[in-house]
Structures are given as C-alpha cells and as structure tokens.
Structure 1
Amino acid sequence: MEKAIYISDDFINENTHFPALLAALKEGFSSPDILVPQRHHHDFPNPETGSDSTLLLMPAWHPAKIAGVKIATVSPENGRYDLPSIQAIYVLINAITGTMIATMQAKSLTAKRTAAASALASSFLSRKDASSLLMIGTGALSANLIRAHASVRPIKEVFVWGRNAEKAKAICSELKEENFSCTAIMQIDDKIGDMDIISCATLSKTPLVLGKYLKPGQHIDLVGAYKKDMREADDAVIQKASVYVDTPAGLHESGDTSIPLHSGILTEDTIKGNLFTLCSGEVSGRKSEKEVTVFKSVGHALEDLMAANYYYNQFTNE
C-alpha cells in the first residue's frame, strides 16, 4: 500500500517554476479526459465577524491516473486575526486504487495555480510586448500574480496598490531582486490608463477598475470578487472589452460577470472563450493590438489537480 506523503507550503514556495506550472495547466485544459464535477459552494454564517464564510469542495479526476479534492474555506474578515482569507488542504489520490498518495497545504498551491492560470490566459490575451503591470490588491496572490505575468510577458514596470499602503510597500520589497521595478502607489485612477496589464485580486464589493480610464490594447485580469455581491470592474469595462473566463461554470459565481449577465450588458453568447477553448486552439485569443481584453477567473478544480500533480512529481523527482 502506498504511503501518503506530506508536501508543505514551504516546499511549494521553493519549487515553483511558473513556466513549467503554466505548461502543466495548459496540458490539463487541453485534455478532454479530465473530469471535473460542479464544485460544492456553501456559505455559512460567521456571527463572530459579522460576515459569512464559505466552504468549497473541489474534486477532479483523470481516469486511470490521478484524482484529488481540495477542501477550502474563505473568511473575508481573517485580516483582523492576521490570517489569509483562504485556508485549504489538498488530497491527491491514485485514481486506479483510490489510495491517497499525498496531502499538501493548499494555501500556496491555490495562490500559485491561480496566478499561473491568469498568466496562461495572458499568454493568449495580452499584447506580446506588454511591459507594464498594475497590481490592485496586496493579499497572498499579489506577488504570485506579478511573478506569473512576468514569466510570459517582458514586464519592466510594476505598480502596486492596496488599501493598506504598508502591505503594498512590503510586496515591492519582496520583489526587489526581480528583473523589473516595483513601486507602491497611493491611488490608481491615473495609472489605469497607462498600464498594459491590470491585475486585480481583492474582495471588493465596489468596482475598482473603471472603464472610463481604459485605453486601447489593455488586458484586464480579474481574479478576486468570488461572490455575486463582489465586483472589481464596472459595466463600462465589460462593454469595452472582449470577455474571456477561466471556465463557463464560473459565469454566475462572481459579480463581475453575474451582474452584467443579469442586466443584459453581457450575454453568455458574447463571451469570447475560456481556458479550455484557448488551450485547445478552438479560439485564438487577442485579435488586434487595439483590442481590450478581460479575463475573469473564479478558480477551477482542474487547476488544483494539475498543480498538485506538478508538485507531487517535484517532490518525488518523477
């Protein structure tokens, strides 16, 4: 019987090569054999904080190969406890025998695979010469998103904004050895129109990226706002852009897409593609240098499975 190994966040942080992780995700999204049922999404009251928490169960199977499930909670008020809002664990399974072959902390797994998915989308949707990036948000995802985007585009300038200016400065300090400059800024409106790529990873309930500031050729990466009452981009962004999503199943989970769908500003027929159609070559992505593109991510169990298998192979040297 196989003995389950344990893979820590430290190992994941020290053994992430974004180009290789992107390749693993692209292989997964290109495969017709991976089975991913609808994830369980349960909100439950948290009277201690006055804000609901969310339990997510995200299974996926690659028949006769690997399977796995992520158990995650999202508690938006965890900042008051100096804890990340997302807590998670992943269980990797031998899909033939059903044996559990690995457990791993999934905080870093989630951050890495989410950043890799955004960069994978950017490889199809941002301009190839994109050299500037605005990062909105200062959570665990931010530095990962910056590094992932820089792995697919020649990023030279990065600007970071968050409601806590000290956190923005800390991210820039963390990235000081990278091959791009990183500057913490106090406000974003005058920067939005100057950036080639705008990545947003927040729990905001009001739009932060406003369409009136956008310029032709930009790419907008919307990663946060995981609930229907949360939103990072306004209607004007959606109206100006060609909209892509990570998966069709997530269309109604986030306010960034569910609110425009409900109002009729966006329809499912006008969604240009998703990571499955982009990676398989069914759709080509960006059509022109002046096109504005939006990628909305809500996360997908396929990303977790492929990332967990990537780190398992790293750990076992397979």
Structure 2
Amino acid sequence: MSLICIDAAQVRSTLSPAACIAVVRKAMIALSRGQAQQPLRSILDLDGGDLLGLMPGRLGEDCFGAKLISVYPHNAERGQPSHQGLVALFDRASGAPLAVVDAQAITALRTAAASAVATDALARQDAQVLALLGYGEQAETHLIALAQVRRLREVRIWGRSRDKAEAFIGRMRLQVALAPLALRYCDSVAAAVDAADMVCTLTHASEPILEGTMLAPGCHVNLVGSGRPGPVEVDSALVCRARFFADHRESVLKQGAEFLRAKAAGLVDDSHVLGEIGQVLAADLPGRVAADDITVYKSLGSIVQDLAAARYVYRRLAGLDSSR
C-alpha cells in the first residue's frame, strides 16, 4: 500500500456538507452504541493560550487512526487558520498507514456537520432564526451546514469587530444557496440571540459572552468554541436552564468547561449531562420533550467524527467503495 497525502483543497472538493452530515451522524450513533473507541484527548498547553492536541480513536472494525492538531486562537488576527494539523488513517489488517489528511479542512467541516446533526435532533422543527456568535471559518461552515437541516429565514451575526463581521456577511451573500437569507450584523450578543431559535457559539472567549437569561424559551444552542477545561462561552445559568447533551459524555464530564464551572459552583452534578447526541439520534434517549425546552449540544470534538470524514475522503480519492 502507498501512503496518500490529502490536502485541504481535496478534502473540500470531495466532502460536501450533506455528505459530511451523513457520515458524522452514523459515527455519533456508533460511538454511543459502543461501536467505536475514543479515549480522552491529550492536550499540551503552550504559551499564550496555544495548545497541541492528540486524539486517537477507532471507528468500527476497519478504521483507526489519530488526529494531531495545533490550536492557535490568535491566528485569526494574522489571517491564518486557528486549527492546523493532520488526521492519520491506518489499515486494520496490516497496521500500515493509509493516508494523511489535512486536519484543518476536516475539522472545519465535521465540527459544523456535528452541530447540524445535533440541531436536527434537538431544535424545533419550525426553527428559522439562527444567531452565529463569531465570524471565523467555523461561522461559515456552520451557516452552510445548518442550512441543510432547517429552512433558515434570518441569520444574525455578532462579533467584536463590526468590520470583520460585515466582511463575513458580504462573503456569505455570494453563496448561491444562501442568497434568499436575511443576513445582518448585531452590535451585541443580546440583540443577536433575542428570540432566536438556534444559537451557535463559535468564539475564543475565555469568559461568558452569552447568558442564560438572554435566550427565549424553545431555543437550541450549540456550544462549540471552548474545547478544554478553562475557557467558557456561556454562563452557568444557561447550563442549568438547559437539557444538556454531549458529543461524548465522558469527555464533557472531564473537559467540558461550561459544565465543569457550573458543577464546581454546586449548581449541577454529573446527571445534568443527560447523555450523548448519538443516543438521541438512535432514539435511545429523548432529546427535546417540550416546545419551550432550552436544549444544548456541547461539542468538544470527537475523533470518530474526524475518522469518519477522513475515511470518506480517502475512499473516494482511492477509488474504493465510499458507502462503508
């Protein structure tokens, strides 16, 4: 076997948002049914808030590998991606490496796809108004992915720089599939989420930017920006108010910053994490039970999502059956 190196352009041209949503959905069900292995990620903290993460895992009987990724939150100020690295896939029969895949492209697509999967499972069917807190790469992929699962009418954008937020809106208006949408900038988080049906937090905030009192009944929230203990994007009131679901329960119990802060304050215990989104998708656990429920999906990032997306791309480019 020869090792294939797959760059970001190949990932983007091969893995459509719809395809990524489909493979991530299957991967999250597999994880919750014990058909995948996912140890807690290892994090090496670097100076200035930067970090290196290592995420090994196994998906099904024939797919295993790992992601090695650097996270540099301040790269956006330099016009560079905040997440950079690689996903390595190995052959189960021989242990030989099959492919090295650009992790920045995989991460951007699969993170948004996972939020779309969670939104489809937890948001109200009539949800139409989306608030994006943040205007980086994840905001772009999230807008495109969520438009796959809900008929969006209005999208509100908040960010600390109005110029950058409006530049983001200008770029997104060029997307043909999004042309009918009303895209507008909001000068405060409260204005952005006021009566919103869905909210995605996509920032590098270290302290809460979103408060539970700001949300209307029935709202669904994807917590995405914080991927380790410490930085939080929302306050404990929001955590307490919500039906709270994890991508991977063990990971959130040990590394989910917003949950851990609420727990440390004595406001919740481990039972507040009701379960995993894969359980909801498989109909093994109820998600939203009432129209007025506030629902939260905590996304830490699952290696099974990376492996599923990378395997799909590899098999397509290698000319193999992509249906597995």
TM-score, with structure 1 as normaliser: 0.93
More moved, 109-118 vs 164-173: 164-173
* One-letter amino acid matched to 2:276: N
- CA offset at residue 269 of structure 1? 0.8
Report the identity percentage.
Answer: 27
Matches within 5 A, 1:27-176: 27-31=26-30, 32-44=34-46, 46=47, 51-62=48-59, 64-176=61-173
Indicate conservation of the 8 Å contact 1:61/1:95, yes or no: no
The residue number in structure 2 matching 1:186 is 187
What amino acid does structure 2 have at the position aligned with 1:124? A
| Corresponding residue to 2:262 among 260, 263, 270 | 260
Q: TM-score with structure 2 length normalisation?
A: 0.91
Deviations along 1:90-115, one digit per CA (max 9) or x if unpaired, are 11111111121111111010011111
> Deviation of residue 82 (structure 1)?
2.9
CA distance in 2 between counterparts of 1:262 and 1:276 reads 27
RMSD: 1.7
Q: How far, CA to CA, are the matches of 1:63 and 1:305 in structure 2?
A: 10
Q: CA deviation at 1:191?
A: 2.9
SS state of the match for residue 273, structure 1? strand
The range that moved more, 273-282 or 213-222, is 273-282
Distance 1:80-1:17 versus aligned 2 partners, 3 A rule? closer
**In 2, Cα distance between the equivalents of 1:271 and 1:255?**
13
- In 1, the alpha carbon distance for the partners of 2:77 and 2:238 equals 32
Unpaired runs of 5+ residues, structure 2, are: none
Give me the whole-angstrom Cα distance separating, in 2, the residues matched to 1:264 and 1:67.
Answer: 38
- Deviation of 1:181 (Å): 2.4
Per-residue CA deviation, residues 116-140 of structure 1 (Å, 9 max, x unaligned), is 1111111111001111100001122
Give the 3 Å change call, closer, same or farther, for CA 65–287 of structure 1 in structure 2.
same
Checking the alignment, whether the CA contact within 8 Å between 1:5 and 1:102 is kept in structure 2 is yes
**Distance (whole Å) between structure 2 residues aligned to residue 160 and residue 10 of structure 1:** 27
Query: Residue 236 in 1 paired to residue 233 in 2?
Result: no
Which whole-Å CA distance do the structure 1 matches of 2:189 and 2:76 have between them? 22
Give the letter aligned to residue 53 of structure 1.
Answer: D
- Residue 80 of structure 1 and its aligned partner are, at CA, apart by 4.4
Q: Specify whether residues 227 and 38 from structure 1 end up closer, same or farther in structure 2 by C-alpha distance, changes over 3 A only.
A: closer
Distance 1:14 1:180 in 2: 24
The answer for unaligned runs of 5 or more in structure 1 is none
**Separation in structure 2 between the aligned mates of residue 126 and residue 63 of structure 1, nearest angstrom:** 29
Q: Is the 8 A contact 1:63 1:95 kept in 2?
A: no
**Alignment size in residue pairs:** 312
Structure 1 stretch displaced more, 182-191 or 86-95: 182-191
CA distance in 2, matches of 1:293, 1:287: 10
Deviates more, 1:181-190 or 1:261-270: 181-190
> How far, CA to CA, are the matches of 2:232 and 2:307 in structure 1?
27
1:275 aligned residue: 277
**Which position in structure 2 is the counterpart of 1:246?**
247
8 Å CA contact retained: 2:130, 2:152: yes
Question: In 2, are the aligned partners of 1:64 and 1:96 still within 8 Å (CA)?
Answer: no
Report the Cα distance in structure 1 between the residues aligned to 2:151 and 2:240, rounded to whole angstroms: 28
Closer, same or farther: CA 30–229 of 1 in aligned 2, 3 Å: closer
